[in-house]
Structure 1
Amino acid sequence: MADVKVHLAGRSYMVRVDDGLLDDTVVQAGEFIERYHAGGYDSRRKIPFVTDQNAFAHHGEIVAHSLASDGYEIDWFITEPGEGAKSWEVLQELIDWLLERGVERGDTIFALGGGVIGDLTGFAASILKRGCKFVQLPTTLLAQVDSSVGGKTAINVAAGKNLVGAFHQPSLVLADTSALRTLPLRELRCGYAEVIKYGILGDADFFAWCEENGAKVLDHDREAVKYAVTSSIAAKARIVAEDERETSGARALLNLGHTFGHALEAETGYSDRLLHGEAVAMGMVLAARYSAQRGFLSENDAARITSAIAAAGLATEISSLGMTCDGQALADHMLHDKKMDGGTLPFILLRGIGDAFLDREVSLSDVAAFLSEQLAAA
């Protein structure tokens, strides 16, 4: 078992990584479950778990059996899978459900699933009675290495993705790597895009490890998966500890590929046509190529990044999406980016593999011309 501590002033918490943590939920999350037993067995309340249909089908019975063996029962809130769950409507439904069950400020809400469930549950916990605790049990690679750690919670609105939310740190994260074996290959690849991101933005040695071992991760090699997940979480934990609320610029580096990626997601309707991890992967390729065009990054490093992402089975050419828009339309989506500040949008660019930086002097018209070139490329 590997433990990574996220160090925050007065609110530090542990991220635990291992095979089989869901089978041992009571032991791993005991201190957050015991409150529901207060007052004796006969008067206990059921433990609120938020999940989606897919995660429930794969992992619900395992978690329920673990808790039942110690006399606990689960009350399930089960939503439809996908980004549609991160909406005002589902948030209100969840809040009402939690209030009906008498959830108190000292209680803990459990999130079992991928990033959508973590975002939805975390945001609900942040606003319910001005803040309840929540525990993350991420079941996708993307959630384990990225969204479950760091406290960013949000829902989507008509104007864009993740525009309504709050910073609300979990009390504990249990990343069961055995859960990843239930993922379709496409979703595993989406998570791997976030893994390799940590190498590209700040660790050249880890990027080289990914070049050599990416296939093992995607093939569920137990040691490779555990190393990839633990290394990624440790990298994010260091950045979050330095810049929890993204005020100094350090945490902004985690958005590598996201500004380009979110524009692609918006243009494709936030649909299964382009999943978030796929958009981030393509966005990192675009960030590398744009960095090379600006003279910051060598063409060789841009090519290495493209090759490593392509080797994982992720698309690298935006022309493959079959979009009918031009580069200006994609750049226009960026105007709704939540990182807009004073009318300008900072971009995460690269000086080298492992050397990302924040550029506040990027012209969106220049980005639009660059994207038009990429769309026209065969």
Structure 2
Amino acid sequence: MATKVIVNIPGETPYDVRIGAGALDGLGQRMRAVEALASMERVLVITDANVAPLYRDQAKASLAAEGFRVSDIVVPAGEETKSLAVAGEIWEAMAQLSLERDCVVVALGGGVVGDLAGFIASTYMRGVSLVQVPTTLLSMVDSSVGGKTGVNLAAGKNLVGTFKQPAYVCADTSTLVTLPEREWTCGCAEVAKSAVIDSDEFFFWLVDAADALAARDEAVAAEAIARSVVFKADVVAADKTESRGVRECLNYGHTLGHAVETLAGYGTFSHGAAVAEGMRFAARLGVALVDTPLELVESQDALLDALGLPALAWSAEPEAMLDAMKRDKKARHGQVRFVLPRDVGAWELVDVDDATLLEHLGAWERSKG
């Protein structure tokens, strides 16, 4: 049975997130039920080379059955696809297909496809409709909801992007069956992030459910997705464009995590593995700066271990990590900012001076032996 979460963001049209096995078969029907999409004729499915052989035909068949004229573009799989060069090729292809403002872009895939297709939809002809069809745990619990889009530059991740809310999100949990273990644990990291920041109720539910989630229990996975979507929807509703400081809580673990991804090389570690490492670091930094309880550090470590996200056996020189953090888009005026947990469900956004950060990065590096 499907679960429906309604995302209601001030100034935006509310949209449904449908979570459940078999949701993809009803994609066309559900899109026709969305007022903004009901009269649309043209649909462009953007997917990648990994997902296309698995789910492209199923998605296109559902859309065609409702009278949509469907085209598709398949991009290479991997983080390197999130580039202005690939975006330019897709814009040109859309023009060659004579797609106009009344077309719908359907993002079928994981976070890379979702971010890229969302960016395409927000910019082609100054904006066309977008539907997100996430096929990874990470994209279901995080990137398909909330409207952030983006592409990478050589200098860092997601440095060019827009805010573009989808008209509908279709999270078919049966697509998770084909997900590699690396990608499953990647999504688990974002669930853990949400639980730590959200509340005792979510956190302790996840502690109890961690083994089942790691084992891909279908009911537990659906519950984890729904809880994460509700959490993110509430945060985005309070701070749509990350201008009030509230939405920055979603960056918990990402400050060090993005630096790890940049210095290790995109793809060396999954995004989730890097974020989990960032959560471990931020909690320890929090002990020194905001009196984070040691009990939380230990509980979070145990939770990440249970979810298949052990501490990374990798490090880099503190000065290189600091430089990477300062080039990240979350830095302000050359100052590195961290989301630090004061306790479960309570967090603080802290500017950390270079000397303090270098001291803690040195301790982090030494901990790797």
TM bin (shorter chain):
over 0.9
Deviation at 1:354, TM superposition (A): 1.9
Measured at CA, do residues 196 and 100 of structure 1 come closer, stay the same or move farther in structure 2, by a change above 3 Å? same
In the other structure, the counterpart of 2:274 is: 279
Matches within 5 A, 1:288-367: 288-294=283-289, 296-317=291-312, 320-321=313-314, 323=315, 325-360=316-351, 362-367=352-357
Is 1:216–2:212 an aligned residue pair?
yes
* 1:64–1:73 contact (8 Å) kept in structure 2: no
* 2:290–2:340 contact (8 Å) kept in structure 1: no
Matches within 5 A, 1:158-307: 158-271=154-267, 273-294=268-289, 296-307=291-302
* 1:260–1:283 contact (8 Å) kept in structure 2: yes
In the other structure, the counterpart of 1:155 is: 151
Deviation at 1:76, TM superposition (A): 1.4
Normalising by structure 1, report the TM-score: 0.92
Deviation at 1:36, TM superposition (A): 4.7
- What amino acid is aligned across from residue 135 of structure 2 in structure 1? T
Q: Could you say what secondary structure the match of 1:125 adopts?
A: helix
Paired with 2:254 and 2:331, the residues of 1 have a C-alpha distance of: 13
In the other structure, the counterpart of 2:7 is: 6
Matches within 5 A, 1:74-85: 74-85=70-81
- What amino acid is aligned across from residue 130 of structure 1 in structure 2? R
Q: Could you say what secondary structure the match of 2:323 adopts?
A: helix
Q: Could you say what secondary structure the match of 2:166 adopts?
A: coil
- What amino acid is aligned across from residue 128 of structure 1 in structure 2? Y
Paired with 1:145 and 1:172, the residues of 2 have a C-alpha distance of: 15
- What amino acid is aligned across from residue 322 of structure 2 in structure 1? A
* 2:133–2:171 contact (8 Å) kept in structure 1: yes
* 2:214–2:308 contact (8 Å) kept in structure 1: no
In the other structure, the counterpart of 2:58 is: 62
Deviation at 1:34, TM superposition (A): 4.9
Q: Deviations over 1:318-337 (max 9, x none)?
A: xx02x4x3112111101111
Deviation at 1:33, TM superposition (A): 6.0
Measured at CA, do residues 108 and 70 of structure 1 come closer, stay the same or move farther in structure 2, by a change above 3 Å? closer
Paired with 2:240 and 2:67, the residues of 1 have a C-alpha distance of: 37
Paired with 2:204 and 2:12, the residues of 1 have a C-alpha distance of: 36
* 1:202–1:356 contact (8 Å) kept in structure 2: no
Paired with 1:358 and 1:33, the residues of 2 have a C-alpha distance of: 39
* 1:292–1:298 contact (8 Å) kept in structure 2: yes
* 2:115–2:151 contact (8 Å) kept in structure 1: yes
Q: Could you say what secondary structure the match of 1:29 adopts?
A: helix
In the other structure, the counterpart of 1:40 is: none
- What amino acid is aligned across from residue 355 of structure 2 in structure 1? S
In the other structure, the counterpart of 1:368 is: 358
Which is worse superposed, 344-353 or 155-164? 344-353
Q: Deviations over 1:44-70 (max 9, x none)?
A: x5x310000111122112213323444
In the other structure, the counterpart of 1:41 is: none
Paired with 1:65 and 1:227, the residues of 2 have a C-alpha distance of: 28
Matches within 5 A, 1:3-82: 3-8=4-9, 9-30=11-32, 31=34, 34-37=38-41, 45=42, 47-82=43-78
Deviation at 1:363, TM superposition (A): 1.0
Q: Deviations over 1:264-322 (max 9, x none)?
A: 11111112x211111111111111111113352111210110111011111224xx02x
Uncovered stretches (5+) of structure 1, i.e. residues with no partner: 38-44
Paired with 1:172 and 1:217, the residues of 2 have a C-alpha distance of: 26
Uncovered stretches (5+) of structure 2, i.e. residues with no partner: none
Paired with 2:281 and 2:17, the residues of 1 have a C-alpha distance of: 32
* 1:328–1:365 contact (8 Å) kept in structure 2: no
Which is worse superposed, 328-337 or 8-17? 8-17
Task: Report percent identity of matched pairs.
Answer: 37
Measured at CA, do residues 162 and 350 of structure 1 come closer, stay the same or move farther in structure 2, by a change above 3 Å? same
Measured at CA, do residues 172 and 69 of structure 1 come closer, stay the same or move farther in structure 2, by a change above 3 Å? closer
Among candidates 102, 106, 110, match of residue 110 of structure 1: 106
* 1:146–1:194 contact (8 Å) kept in structure 2: yes
- What amino acid is aligned across from residue 4 of structure 2 in structure 1? D
Is 1:87–2:89 an aligned residue pair?
no
- What amino acid is aligned across from residue 342 of structure 1 in structure 2? H
